[in-house]
Amino acid sequence: MPTEICLDTNSTTPVLPAALDAACRVMQQQFGNPSSSHSTGLVAQNLRESVRCSAAKLVGAGAGKLLFVSGATEGIQTAVLSALCALRQRRDRGNTVGRLLVYGATEHKAVPESLAYWNRLLGLNLEVRALPVDAGGRHDLRTLASWADDIGMLCTMAANNETGVVSDIAGIERVLQAADSAALWLVDCVQALGKVALNLQATRIDYAPFSGHKLYAPKGIGMLYVRAGSPYHPLMVGGGQEAGARSGTENMPGIAALGAVFDALERGDTFQSAQVLHTWRDRLVQAIGDAFPGVVFNAPLDQTLPTTLNFSVPGLSSKLLLDLFDAAGIRISAGSACSAAKAEPSFVLQAMGLPEWRTTSAVRLSFGPLADDDFITRACATIGQCGAVLRSSGAAPANSGALAWPASTASSTAEAGNEAVRGLDWNELEQVLQSDPQALLIDVREAYEYAAAAALCSAGRTAVNLPLTELQRGVPRWLAEHRHPVVFFCRSGNRSLQALLAMQSRGHRLCRHLEGGLALGAGPAPYTATSAHPTKDLKS
């Protein structure tokens, strides 16, 4: 496999080596439960509190609470529950409360979903309403001002995960203050941590969730800031940990790892400065522009985090770009990781009012402050190669999006569970190949992916490149008449499954596919590529 270049850090990051060491130390040596009163427990308690102190300093928590939670989704949940319980209590006491639960239209799904869920569950029946954003992705402050009197809870994000757009938090605060709004205010700081200076105590923000895995700590650890005096209701009750604010034995390896990340941020010797990140972004912008003439960036670069680029290329679907980049070893995404499986237009870009072609063809490229110059150089070079491959393969971009097999051949859960379409794992593949020297391996990726992944094809077996789009037009005779096992493979196992189902619907039973695709391969695939067999003798 080509060396992986992960340009998808807004979805998650690897763990900082010092954070890994800290987590391992806590799991193997300082493994105490911070609730225990013996010495081992006290060591754990001391560690937890020292990390809390570093965190408080980093985000300027002042007299506010900083709770350790499992991640931002739990933080958001807890904040929404707290605010909505407070609104219900106020209402039950006969006080008027705002009728609106307002969230930024480009907010992470965890926010509107939590608002709707707790609103329903608590029987509040308030109106959940999206606050529009402008073409640059920033909140529409005029609309906010016109609603401000009537807002019970307001949720806005500090920086957007898909576009990197940094919100005008000070502007929002001015609007709330001017209206003397009683709204409880949540600001999702997930993408801002470590990238935007924060001093929460100097604001009127009531709640701010954070997530460790977006900044080189492991998954499963996060924090929630709650302003001193803001309403609070625990989501989790039980053993009374976190002074009763969040029960459950603390995730000490996660907390220790988070502490190592905060220490690195404070020392300033591990992560790149904003200035360096900006110069790297400029180089990536240049590389993308050279590789894909006509590219449009979907958010104003002077209003976005230097670590996020969101762009669309006329005539190239996001699926094509993702597949091409993936084949070349670059991991990018079409939007947030949670919606990656849905292949729908980006609701964030739709909210910004961008034309449909841009919302459906957008890709996000993001890198973290732990990157280095060599990484960016390799990324730029590989992006250049992707552009060259695409030009030389003469891909017909407009037709290269989702594939449309007849409904009868489409994958369904029922069919996918069927033995006949069960995928092979790598060991089973090896067995098939060894048991029959004439077994045929077919790479159903597009020619441009195949070309971009030339390094994949090392010694050994021969794989034939027969793109699914071609197979879609008809099964070539050499394949239809092949009387030995056929194994289809692609990047993730989706297209190979479609190829398999199509073959089976035409009565070809000796087919299998590689489950999980090349992505799950342990190392270089031991196959040599050849050009596709002649396809002029196509059967219908």
Give the residues lining the site for ligand PLP (CB under 6 A).
71-73, 108, 110, 157, 161, 188, 190-191, 211, 222, 336
Q: How is residue 370 annotated by DSSP?
A: T
137 or 517: CB nearest ligand PLP: 137
Q: What are the contacts of 119-123 at 24+ separation with CB within 8 A?
A: 119/84, 122/84, 122/85, 122/88, 123/88
Distance CA 524, CA 179 (A): 62
Which residues does residue 486 pair with via DSSP β-bridges, in sequence order?
440, 511
Q: What's the token pair of residue 393?
A: 């393969």
526 to 52, 150, 423, 441, 464: CA distances (angstroms): 50, 64, 19, 11, 13
45 or 77: CB nearest ligand PLP: 77
Q: What's the token pair of residue 361?
A: 């063809």
- Which residues, 6 or more positions from 472, have their beta carbon under 8 angstroms from its beta carbon? 403, 404, 405, 502
Q: What's the token pair of residue 529?
A: 């590529």
Q: Which residue's C-beta sits nearest to ligand PLP?
A: 71
The minimum distance between CB 225 and ligand PLP, in angstroms, equals 14
The minimum distance between CB 195 and ligand PLP, in angstroms, equals 12
163 or 382: CB nearest ligand PLP: 163
Q: How many residues would you count in the chain? A: 540
Which secondary structure element, helix H or strand E, spans residue 155, and what is its range? strand 151-157
The minimum distance between CB 193 and ligand PLP, in angstroms, equals 10
Task: Give the β-pairing of 527-530 and 461-465.
Answer: parallel
Q: How is residue 88 annotated by DSSP?
A: H
The minimum distance between CB 223 and ligand PLP, in angstroms, equals 10
Number of helices followed by number of strands (H, E) in the chain: 18, 17
Distance of CA 327 to the CA centre of its chain: 19
The minimum distance between CB 77 and ligand PLP, in angstroms, equals 9
The minimum distance between CB 66 and ligand PLP, in angstroms, equals 15
Distance of CA 71 to the CA centre of its chain: 14
108 or 319: CB nearest ligand PLP: 108
- Which residues, 6 or more positions from 229, have their beta carbon under 8 angstroms from its beta carbon? none
Active-site residue numbers?
A: 338
351 or 464: CB nearest ligand PLP: 351
208 or 320: CB nearest ligand PLP: 208
Distance CA 306, CA 369 (A): 10
